Amino acid sequence: MGGGFDWDGWAVRDDWDVPPELVDGGQDAVDSLCRWWRRAGGENLDALRECGRVLARMLRAGDGPDVVLRGAVVVDGRFADCVFGTVDFSDVRFVGDVDFAGARFEGQAVFQRILCEGDADFGGAAFAGAAVFGRARFRGAAGFARARFGDLAWFGRGEDGLPEDDPAWEEIEDAVTPAWQEPNEGDPHWPLAVLDFDYQEWIEGGDGARFAGPVTFRDAEFAADAWFGKARFGGSADFIGAVFGGPVHLVAPAADLTGARAEGAGHEWPFGWRLHDGELAAVPYRRELADPDPFARLAGVELLASVGDAEPAARAAVARALCEYLRVPLPFAVTGSLTPPQDAELRARRAAQETLASRARPGGWPGLSLHLSGATLVDMDLSGVSVAYGDFCGAQFHGRTDFAGAVFERADFCLPGSAEGRATFHGPAVLAGARLTRHASPADRERSGLDRCRFRAGGP
């Protein structure tokens, strides 16, 4: 055995009289290993790597045992072609690459709020029950090519939906989510939110799964709902040839849906994509916002602005597309010196900000909403705008921010009823004359949550 892992001591503590690798992989052996693993912390990486090796052996020898590793650290997980029952990997930190290629999940598979530090491969995996990747963070490449989702595929905000009498409520207060530690974002304090089966109430105030690198769902099959609400794609998002059998919420501009097919209704696609005879096509808009060249993205911003100016019916969709672009994670720090491509990217993003702001002022596009939850915004000037709704929960404002004279029917800077998911201002902020919740009563003036935000320099 490698890594100095005290297998004999572990066996004694968990009432085993033989090391787990001599056990035939039954449920009791898996439970015992997982109990130790959850207590082990993340210091001895060699021991944790050995845990993964033994668990994979058990899974391949068994007939789909349940696995509960909530909050554990998994090192170089090699679970390709393994068979799982119901699994709970919530809040797991995957160190190194992780491989679930070809794995089968016979029950619900919960991967919410996981942190994958390396590449993650779920290619060809089969999920018989719900696959929950709410607020998962993939810092490397993520692969779901040819994966089969037999039930709900959830890549939105990470929620636990529990009935009122579920005993799991007693454990929630002890749960700890992994540190955020993302570029430009400080800590927006997204909560570990638990709802009484009220998924669609304030769920959209938060952040969804985050893909820092490229992700592929090429030829994946979604039998039921495919929910990517508030998911953020920092690189390419390949959905080429995917098949959607239920409602879809996927509006990220990076998504390439060439040749994808969909059935039924209830779909929300990225701007410019249309469903025709069951197949997705992108006409006439050519997905400039998804182009890797920042100069092409700048041209895309200008093109979308002209489309909205010419077609009032397209304005809401254009505004949402620009907001989704601004929610794309930035892989570099916006402060300090920038390379020419980085400087060009910031110019494109500032152009998107100015397009939204100018059209939101009187004489522009009336009734606009700004969905900028979690966005990184640089020198944002929303002075004098008139906006129906502004979602700035968890947004990170860098440089100078100006809301002077802005009027919002409603604006949220923090998740309602909490001090979490709050926006942070990293530079001076001007709020003179701003009306952030236009119809709030005098006793409810702080409903926007602005009073709970962080002001790190030159606050109002």
**204 lies in some domain:** no
**Mean pLDDT across the stretch 214-221?**
98
**83 lies in some domain:** no
Residue of 98, 96, 62, 97 lying closest to 82 (CA atoms)? 62
What pLDDT, on a 0 to 100 scale, did the predictor assign at position 198? 46
Inter-CA distances, 303 with 81, 236, 327, Å: 46, 21, 19
**Mean pLDDT across the stretch 36-53?**
88
What pLDDT, on a 0 to 100 scale, did the predictor assign at position 79? 97
Q: Which of 12-21, 91-100, 298-307 shows the lowest mean pLDDT across its residues?
A: 12-21
Rg (CA), the chain: 23
Q: Which of 159-163, 323-327, 362-366 shows the lowest mean pLDDT across its residues?
A: 159-163
* Strands across the sheet containing 109-110: 67-68, 87-88, 109-110, 131-132, 153-154, 226-227, 248-249, 267-268
**324 lies in some domain:** yes
**Mean pLDDT across the stretch 78-94?**
95
Q: Which of 163-167, 273-277, 340-344 shows the lowest mean pLDDT across its residues?
A: 163-167
Contact 424, 454 (CB under 8 A): yes
Q: Which of 128-137, 196-205, 259-268, 397-406 shows the lowest mean pLDDT across its residues?
A: 196-205
What pLDDT, on a 0 to 100 scale, did the predictor assign at position 225? 92
At residue 55, the 3 state secondary structure works out as helix
**Mean pLDDT across the stretch 62-73?**
91
- Which pLDDT tens digit goes with each residue over 332-371? 999 889 999 999 999 999 999 999 999 999 999 999 999 9
What pLDDT, on a 0 to 100 scale, did the predictor assign at position 10? 61
**Is the predicted pLDDT of residue 308 greater than 80, yes or no?**
yes
**142 lies in some domain:** no
Q: Which of 50-59, 111-120, 157-166, 298-307 shows the lowest mean pLDDT across its residues?
A: 157-166
Q: Which of 48-52, 60-64, 289-293 shows the lowest mean pLDDT across its residues?
A: 60-64
Per DSSP, 325 falls in state H
Contact 51, 78 (CB under 8 A): no
**Is the predicted pLDDT of residue 306 greater than 50, yes or no?**
yes
More confident position, 285 or 343? 343
**399 lies in some domain:** yes
What pLDDT, on a 0 to 100 scale, did the predictor assign at position 186? 75
- Which pLDDT tens digit goes with each residue over 430-440? 999 999 987 66
**Mean pLDDT across the stretch 407-414?**
92
**307 lies in some domain:** yes
**Mean pLDDT across the stretch 101-125?**
95
Number of domains in the chain: 1
What pLDDT, on a 0 to 100 scale, did the predictor assign at position 15? 58
pLDDT band at 159 (very low <50, low <70, confident <90, very high): low
Give the range of the structural domain holding residue 363, as residue numbers without chain letter. Answer: 289-455
Alpha helices in 311-417 (DSSP H): 315-326, 340-360
More confident position, 62 or 381? 381
**Is the predicted pLDDT of residue 129 greater than 90, yes or no?**
yes
**39 lies in some domain:** no
Q: Which of 267-271, 282-286, 359-363, 383-387 shows the lowest mean pLDDT across its residues?
A: 282-286
What pLDDT, on a 0 to 100 scale, did the predictor assign at position 378? 96
**Mean pLDDT across the stretch 449-453?**
86
Q: How far is residue 318's CA from residue 301's CA, in Å, rounded to a whole number?
A: 9
pLDDT band at 55 (very low <50, low <70, confident <90, very high): very high
**Is the predicted pLDDT of residue 169 greater than 90, yes or no?**
no
**Is the predicted pLDDT of residue 200 greater than 60, yes or no?**
no
* HSE value, Cβ hemisphere, 13 Å, CA-based, for 154: 24
**Is the predicted pLDDT of residue 42 greater than 90, yes or no?**
no
pLDDT band at 281 (very low <50, low <70, confident <90, very high): confident
**Is the predicted pLDDT of residue 252 greater than 50, yes or no?**
yes
What pLDDT, on a 0 to 100 scale, did the predictor assign at position 434? 92
Residue 164 burial by CB count (10 A; 0-12/13-18/19+): exposed, middle or buried? exposed
**381 lies in some domain:** yes
Q: Which of 106-115, 140-149, 402-411, 446-455 shows the lowest mean pLDDT across its residues?
A: 446-455
What average pLDDT does the structure give for the chain? Answer: 86
